[in-house]
Amino acid sequence: MATLVTKRRFTVWEYHRLAEAGILREDDRVELLEGEIFEMSPISSRHASCVTRLNHLLQDQAKGRAIVSVQNPIRLSDYSEPQPDVALLVPRTDFYRDALPTPRDVLLVIEVCETSGEFDRHVKLPLYAKAGIPEVWIVDLSREQIEVHRDPKVEGYQQSQIVGRGQTLTAQLLALELPVAKILG
């Protein structure tokens, strides 16, 4: 007799209960994506430096127009709660105290990768598109380039381009301009 084996998907609510019960610790580097809990790669000094640099650059340019959220969760659906490296959020006076940001609150997501590029492109990027996140940048430190993805549809982003040193990036909804060389360091 054949046995059917299925995966058990966790909801965001259950994921948070795992943390409250101490099964997941606050310092665990995990994300809930499509009901599965993924352990994330350790953050290298190069990765951390890039995220810090982005935070510094964006705090100046986005002041009063967006909240810069660094490595904090976004609730995409009942089954997905990624923690992008940087997200620019619609300003709110409570700074999202009572509820995590949802896709309608997100202006831009930035993922920084050194070794996780394939995961970011093939797992996280489709989830952001499906949720309707208007713009995603993947800062690929190993390739020294930034992928820009815009115009989300359920099947994926309709516009994509790659920019490198010597070029300038513009965050579409905020008209923020950043030289690629400043982001890459």
CA–CA distance, 60 with 88 (Å, rounded to integer): 13
| Domain count along the chain | 1
User: Percent of the chain scored above 70 by pLDDT?
Assistant: 99
> Is residue 141 very low, low, confident or very high in pLDDT (cuts 50, 70, 90)?
very high
Global pTM reads 0.94
DSSP code string of 136-181: EEEEETTTTEEEEEEEEETTEEEEEEEEETT-EEEETTTTEEEEHH
Q: Give mean pLDDT, residues 51-59.
A: 96
> Does 126 score more than 80 pLDDT?
yes
> Is residue 1 very low, low, confident or very high in pLDDT (cuts 50, 70, 90)?
low
Give the domain range for residue 164. 41-184
Residue 127 lies inside a defined structural domain of this protein: yes
Please give the DSSP secondary-structure letter assigned to residue 97.
S
More confidently predicted of 41 and 98:
98
pLDDT tens per residue, range 109-123: 999 999 888 999 999
CATH of the domain at 161: 3.90.1570.10
CA–CA distance, 40 with 47 (Å, rounded to integer): 13
Residue 89 lies inside a defined structural domain of this protein: yes
Residue 3 lies inside a defined structural domain of this protein: no
pLDDT tens per residue, range 75-102: 999 999 999 999 999 999 999 999 999 9
